[in-house]
Amino acid sequence: MRGAFRGVPVSTEPVWLEPKLAAAVKPYRYEINPLDEQLLTGLTLAVAPSGTGELAISALGYGAGIVTFTVAAGQPTRCYTLMLSATRSDGMVSEYLFKMRVGSVLVTDQPQVPPAAGFGAAVVWP
């Protein structure tokens, strides 16, 4: 089943990434579509919600069909959405949707209102 996210067709079922703790810096890997791999010219990765103290992407890389990225920070109890866009040399853009939860640190942690609900500035490769 296909849906629309920001006007671009993406899967309606996101890929759930392994949860992390707020203080942890954690690397992730994702194998992209082989068709995208052959002609890949660029990647962008953005996170929602965004703002001060929210999840931050500290590295984005690509090699041998595997996209790697590192995330840091994040608010306890928050669920984040990550949008990876892969641009091919023929101009086609494929988008991959991820979800990730940041675990609570204390039993008393409560969800906070994010500074900005939408996607922040994207990290770009190369």
**Short-list 40, 34, 25, 48, CA closest to 97:** 48
Q: Which two tokens stand for residue 94?
A: 């494929």
pLDDT single digits (tens) 34-80: 676 668 889 999 999 999 889 999 999 998 889 999 999 999 999 99
pLDDT single digits (tens) 7-35: 444 556 889 999 999 999 999 999 887 67
User: Architecture of domain 24-101+122-126 in CATH?
Assistant: Sandwich (2.60)
pTM: 0.84
Q: In sequence order, which residues have a C-beta less than 8 Å from that of residue 113 and are 6 or more positions away?
A: none
Is it the case that residue 4 has pLDDT exceeding 60?
no
Residue extents of the structural domains in the chain = 24-101+122-126
